[in-house]
Structure 1
């Protein structure tokens, strides 16, 4: 698994983690924003009217209403990215990461408008009478690039696991274990059965469920978040200021946080923003293709609301909860995950300015005298005898370190370290460090009016958010399978999807996030390429829509 983790790191470095990717993603959104004259602002009010059903007419082809399509798409985006993803971005990039999530969302509103409109326009009716759409259809039917359509569809299937199935249940299981003490495998088993029951009903059952769950889960989470933010009222303004002041400089060291460069904040903020709202990824168009509408632009306008609700509202609430509560700089007792940990040579003290700077440089890819540790650590009753090493976990110096065997028994003996990690993966390391993902958000929700009970809001919210995301992504995957191999491939896909969902409930958290990061980019790049090629058609479609809209409403 260590080798697989390093392989994913390498891929992420070439793709989503590469310096060029955020510029491509934001650049496409910026281009369409200017090219189409800020549609995310000009059409926002109209989008609300469309989704409310004001312009609905009988007889339009499709499987769902505008609201149901929006709910399904939102259920696919509002998930662990809003709870665990924001926390992960801040834990890596500091407050500045939230600013770049906002930028991704603002420009992403236009990107989503474009991709949904084009995908809805070229949707098809399948053998069972349901609608199927998505970027693969405009790539095939309009661009005549079947090879690109196949590449996108394959990436969609992969991403359905890397985005929809694996990280969602992983975070649910983590939260349920931390809050209620339920074994991850038990959580995975129960929810896997429920997932199978839902997705077998197809898009109509999925839409019916998500249209009820999405408003409920949003209300619960918003109330809980406001309970923390208002409790820490004095920290609201400083938290906002830190987001803006650090945006172009990176975040300095604070508390246990060793600091993050601009490059880390920018890259992780954009990357997590994409994981949260999926603007440009091409996933939401698959859900919107099912909507009952004869005008693709009208459905595109509905999709403008998604990044706004998902990132501008919900992710901002999560970010303010974490920043205003101050938990992002505090160390907590935790299990050190191998994929978030490195053991370095030498005894470093974070209170020492020179040591802190050396560690900052090392973690941010700058020249540093810090090197991974290789050698033996002598341990007696869980405590290290030699002190010639330092454990870095979640971008902080680990304290009160204890070695064990499979997390249950203290260890006595020699722990062999190679390139910064124990050679024996059964060796468990616990201690105090910063935490990330859903665990960090859970800690933050306990610093409000609800006290320790706030953790239950996170667990319930995470359960609803993540489970609904897994449901939506199963639909995205089976539409891609229909394009690739036909309707007969859907059932085998669903079986593998549920099996992967169960497996990820007890897998390494950070490893799952790494897989998701790679899968997202593999899916996004072909879609961005395709919509840029169809920029003129998009502009013409908007002009035609308004001509017809005015004519229909005048008569």
Structure 2
């Protein structure tokens, strides 16, 4: 009898335990060949309702049994917990089917690995500040999945800002005292038609500016203001001023160490000064390693950020305003490739002739409309600047405190003007000049135009109109378009055209950057140049035809990573540039540099 009782008790206990166990059944869905639209639905059996679902995907709420917008081929975890505290964790992966999904899923882990280096936060790692964001009551802000929201000071931003600050101090604020002389050079006051090179000072400037002014000035600024608040504008402007000094150093070196072949082709930029400049200091092997790393990264960035992203976003903006284009990305890409090809097949001279017309035109149009919007809201002038300065130094907790707003501004400023990345030095190497430092002066105007003028005007439009408030669900370009559209109803059409022209000019500039990196790695023959150009045009079509996802993120990181080998070289050679600057200023003040010198008060005498 006792044995029967124990057997019955064991059976009842086993049944109770089994009924309390959580069993998960899943439905995996991949509805299309488009990337990042995978879906996982969980059904729970057993346990006690209600259940919570802790997904590894931050955007999925705790109460949702369905996660959507997932990347195909990437594993996700979910922990389900019932009302009694019982929980179970499982991992799921929606298989990638199309080629783009497979490529995207394969690239994402690489992007995450590179991002863990470039966006590593050294300050948070050593406990200088708490990266968790809090509301005004001190409670931590959470993602929908329950993870805390954090801010970070990315290593790559620190790298670029410290570099800009170092060069500003090392060159004794050349970004301020050299500004007037830079304007005079860009306006052609000191052009030397007989000097070695292929393009004028202004053409080199226009080519380099066209490689930076683009969607980042329109969409990127909107996101920075929406996330960091108006105070981010102040730090963005400061980043632009510091970047002017970085551009001065790298472009001076780009001209100094360039090679000019008998056929007139110019080979310069970081690849040249990293090899030759460090060789002169007994660091030849180290210089070659840095140059090769830079060239590989530059080619990757040219095909992605400087190419596929441009055609992709140009098509996206135009089809948004002209529905007839919808679904015709391939043919749009073909047309854009033909237009780009018609320019780049002619080399840097052809590129410069186009950019010197497109860049001033589009910049003038954009600045004009921005000023119209600002003047229409001129009564908000005082309050807008109060928001900017108060937000810069005393931001609310919801914006991440002063660290959060500072990083939003610095991040947009540094990423927009590419100062320290080294790309502009390739364009400026082709300038007609006998004096390398003179091209450094011209180059320092780029961050001023890109960040201090264009980015700042975009920010002011967003702040004056108040469009950055309540911006949930809007992308950066949509936000800027809405801000302008609140005053000028037909402006979205102008913006779509502007994005296309900016994308076009960026693509032709980056084709030259990537081509020079390719000739450094594979030989300085015209055959290498031709093969690169054909591949570049194929990627223009590809970019307009597919969704980019992790491929674009990978390319963006390659562009930012170019700053690592480049700034190392700039640090080592900064003393040389400083001495060259002293000699240039001495000769300029003594009227010894140019045939027809004009009185110039461009730079104070060195102390």
Q: TM-score range by the shorter chain?
A: 0.7 to 0.9
> SS of the counterpart of 1:37?
coil
Q: CA deviation at 1:32?
A: 1.4
TM-score of the aligned structures, taking structure 2 as reference length: 0.70
In 2, the alpha carbon distance for the partners of 1:509 and 1:319 equals 27
Q: CA deviation at 1:247?
A: 2.5
1:475 aligns with 2:512: yes
Number of the residue aligned with 2:480: 441
Larger Cα Rg: Structure 1 or Structure 2? 2
User: Closer, same or farther in 2 for the Cα pair 1:270/1:472, shift >3 Å?
Assistant: same
Alignment of 1:278-317 (within 5 A): 278-317=418-457
Farther off after superposition, 228-237 or 477-486: 228-237
In 2, the alpha carbon distance for the partners of 1:244 and 1:506 equals 43
Q: CA deviation at 1:154?
A: 0.9
In 2, the alpha carbon distance for the partners of 1:92 and 1:280 equals 25
Q: 1:65 aligns with which of 185, 200, 203?
A: 200
Number of the residue aligned with 2:501: 464
User: Closer, same or farther in 2 for the Cα pair 1:155/1:85, shift >3 Å?
Assistant: same
Q: 1:534 aligns with which of 557, 573, 578?
A: 573
User: Closer, same or farther in 2 for the Cα pair 1:100/1:75, shift >3 Å?
Assistant: same
Q: CA deviation at 1:138?
A: 0.7
> SS of the counterpart of 1:329?
coil
Q: CA deviation at 1:130?
A: 1.0
Q: CA deviation at 1:248?
A: 4.5
User: Closer, same or farther in 2 for the Cα pair 1:193/1:446, shift >3 Å?
Assistant: same
Alignment of 1:241-320 (within 5 A): 241-248=386-393, 250=395, 253=398, 259-320=399-460
| Greater relative contact order (CA < 8 Å, ≥ 6 in sequence) | 1
Farther off after superposition, 542-551 or 138-147: 542-551
Query: Are the counterparts in 1 of residues 301 and 556 from structure 2 also a CA contact under 8 Å?
Result: no
User: Closer, same or farther in 2 for the Cα pair 1:173/1:539, shift >3 Å?
Assistant: same
Query: Are the counterparts in 2 of residues 123 and 137 from structure 1 also a CA contact under 8 Å?
Result: yes
1:175 aligns with 2:317: yes
Q: CA deviation at 1:445?
A: 1.3
Query: Are the counterparts in 2 of residues 328 and 435 from structure 1 also a CA contact under 8 Å?
Result: no
Query: Are the counterparts in 2 of residues 236 and 320 from structure 1 also a CA contact under 8 Å?
Result: no
Q: CA deviation at 1:251?
A: 5.1
1:203 aligns with 2:348: yes
User: Closer, same or farther in 2 for the Cα pair 1:286/1:88, shift >3 Å?
Assistant: same
In 1, the alpha carbon distance for the partners of 2:555 and 2:380 equals 33
In 2, the alpha carbon distance for the partners of 1:508 and 1:321 equals 30
Query: Are the counterparts in 2 of residues 93 and 251 from structure 1 also a CA contact under 8 Å?
Result: no
Q: 1:239 aligns with which of 377, 380, 384?
A: 384
In 2, the alpha carbon distance for the partners of 1:5 and 1:251 equals 34
Q: CA deviation at 1:24?
A: 2.0
In 1, the alpha carbon distance for the partners of 2:521 and 2:262 equals 14
> SS of the counterpart of 2:194?
coil
User: Closer, same or farther in 2 for the Cα pair 1:156/1:513, shift >3 Å?
Assistant: same
Q: CA deviation at 1:270?
A: 2.5
1:154 aligns with 2:296: yes
Q: CA deviation at 1:5?
A: 4.2
Query: Are the counterparts in 1 of residues 295 and 517 from structure 2 also a CA contact under 8 Å?
Result: yes
> SS of the counterpart of 1:56?
coil
> SS of the counterpart of 1:53?
coil
Q: 1:111 aligns with which of 242, 246, 258?
A: 246
In 2, the alpha carbon distance for the partners of 1:512 and 1:238 equals 42
In 2, the alpha carbon distance for the partners of 1:115 and 1:45 equals 20
In 1, the alpha carbon distance for the partners of 2:459 and 2:589 equals 42
Q: CA deviation at 1:507?
A: 4.2
Query: Are the counterparts in 2 of residues 97 and 243 from structure 1 also a CA contact under 8 Å?
Result: yes
Q: 1:485 aligns with which of 484, 506, 522?
A: 522
Number of the residue aligned with 1:359: none
Number of the residue aligned with 1:49: 184
**Structure 1 stretches of 5 or more lacking a match?**
254-258, 332-432
In 2, the alpha carbon distance for the partners of 1:177 and 1:97 equals 31
Number of the residue aligned with 2:49: none
After superposition, the C-alpha distances for 1:223-251 in whole angstroms (9 at most, x for unaligned) are 11122222233334333333332234555
Query: Are the counterparts in 1 of residues 236 and 410 from structure 2 also a CA contact under 8 Å?
Result: yes
After superposition, the C-alpha distances for 1:460-517 in whole angstroms (9 at most, x for unaligned) are 2111112101110100000111111112322222222222222222544765663343
TM-score of the aligned structures, taking structure 1 as reference length: 0.76
User: Closer, same or farther in 2 for the Cα pair 1:546/1:280, shift >3 Å?
Assistant: same
Number of the residue aligned with 1:77: 212
Farther off after superposition, 291-300 or 540-549: 540-549
Q: CA deviation at 1:188?
A: 2.6
Q: CA deviation at 1:219?
A: 1.2
User: Closer, same or farther in 2 for the Cα pair 1:251/1:465, shift >3 Å?
Assistant: farther
Query: Are the counterparts in 2 of residues 481 and 489 from structure 1 also a CA contact under 8 Å?
Result: yes
Give the aligned length.
447
In 1, the alpha carbon distance for the partners of 2:343 and 2:439 equals 25
In 1, the alpha carbon distance for the partners of 2:516 and 2:186 equals 24
In 1, the alpha carbon distance for the partners of 2:120 and 2:517 equals 26
Q: CA deviation at 1:222?
A: 1.0
Q: CA deviation at 1:553?
A: 4.7
Query: Are the counterparts in 2 of residues 80 and 167 from structure 1 also a CA contact under 8 Å?
Result: no
User: Closer, same or farther in 2 for the Cα pair 1:218/1:22, shift >3 Å?
Assistant: same
After superposition, the C-alpha distances for 1:411-454 in whole angstroms (9 at most, x for unaligned) are xxxxxxxxxxxxxxxxxxxxxx4312222211111011x2x211
Number of the residue aligned with 2:64: none
1:518 aligns with 2:557: yes
In 1, the alpha carbon distance for the partners of 2:478 and 2:546 equals 16
> SS of the counterpart of 2:413?
helix
User: Closer, same or farther in 2 for the Cα pair 1:101/1:116, shift >3 Å?
Assistant: same
Please provide the CA RMSD for this pair.
2.2
User: Closer, same or farther in 2 for the Cα pair 1:208/1:172, shift >3 Å?
Assistant: same
User: Closer, same or farther in 2 for the Cα pair 1:435/1:7, shift >3 Å?
Assistant: farther
In 1, the alpha carbon distance for the partners of 2:266 and 2:587 equals 24
